[in-house]
Amino acid sequence: MNNDEDQEAVKNMKTHFPFLFDRGFRVTYTHFDEESFGNWIVVLGSPEFSVMLIQDRSELWLSIGSGQRYSNQGRWVGLELLIYFLTNEKDYIASYDGDLHDQTKQYQRLAETFVTYYDQIFDVIVSDFDKNYYSIMSLKSKIFELSQKEVLERMRKTGA
């Protein structure tokens, strides 16, 4: 990341995810791509697992991975998919449907969701993430179907 974007993204992580820094997470990787819509990645690592926040075309996404460092080859699972697994397919976290330029609301939504499930996430990552990984990923098609239904319902409501 260039210095300004780096500082802003890390500042926002510290503001909205203080519970991670309180638990020993630290910034382990940052990347900013001016040529791709200003997309960026910030990874926070702890001895137990890592958290990756991605801004892609103004939308924020949070993923959880094993290990302390960022790796393109690492195993990363989206927060929504992980929660769906942890709750035995009961809790489906819908995608953000507000103004994508309202970064504060997106950060708040992700942080509130993450802190609510933090202990369960910690347990599944620390206990045996590698063992659970394939079970978690097997739910991707169900999450995709739910998200498609969600989009269609939004379109129906707005008349789009």
| Number of domains observed in the structure of the chain | 1
pLDDT at 2: 47
pLDDT tens readout for residues 49-59? 999 999 888 88
Q: Where residue 4 falls among pLDDT bands split at 50, 70, 90?
A: low
Whole-angstrom distance, CA of residue 154 vs CA of residue 80: 19
For residue 65, the enclosing domain spans 3-158
Whole-angstrom distance, CA of residue 57 vs CA of residue 137: 24
**Three-state secondary structure call for residue 52:** strand
Starting at the edge strand found earlier in the chain, the sheet holding 76-78 runs 26-33, 39-45, 49-56, 59-66, 76-78
pLDDT at 87: 94
pLDDT tens readout for residues 62-80? 999 987 555 555 789 999 9
Residue whose token pair is 């369960």: 120
Q: Which helix (H) or strand (E) holds 33?
A: strand 26-33
Cβ contact 113:93 at 8 Å = yes
Mean pLDDT throughout 124-129? Answer: 85
Q: Which long-range contacts (CB under 8 A, 24 or more apart) does 52-56 make?
A: 52/76, 53/9, 53/13, 53/110, 55/9
Specify the pTM.
0.83
Cβ contact 10:27 at 8 Å = yes
